[in-house]
Amino acid sequence: MSKQRLIDANVLTDFCRGLRKELHGKYKEYTPVEFNARDNMLLNFEQMVGIQPEIDAKPVVRCKDCKHYNTVGCSQGFGWCENIDRGTSDNFYCANGKQLNKESEDD
């Protein structure tokens, strides 16, 4: 199975709508059969995007942007997480990440 990717379905839908609008402006360049085939293909694709399941994606806080991250005395690209008490890289993340310089209700 291929790796899943998050995309912005709204942008893709808007792109399809833009192509359909462009197609409708050039309808004289196509035979009726060609025009209908292209229009139906774009409409079907737009509808297929719309019925795909959505995931519950949550943004992560990378260690380099986390208030628990301490880089004092560490090599570049690495630091110490005060929350999990271990070394991590700048791009690591965990479920306990808290955005640096952002007020939190539970602090």
The segments of the chain whose pLDDT lies below 50 read 104-105, 107
Q: Are strands 86-89 and 69-70 parallel, antiparallel or unpaired?
A: unpaired
By 3-state DSSP, what share of the chain in percent is helix, strand and coil, each rounded to 5?
A: 40, 15, 50
pLDDT digits (tens, 9 = 90+) for 56-79: 877 888 888 888 888 777 777 888
pLDDT value, residue 61 = 86
pLDDT value, residue 35 = 96
Q: Are strands 69-70 and 78-81 parallel, antiparallel or unpaired?
A: antiparallel
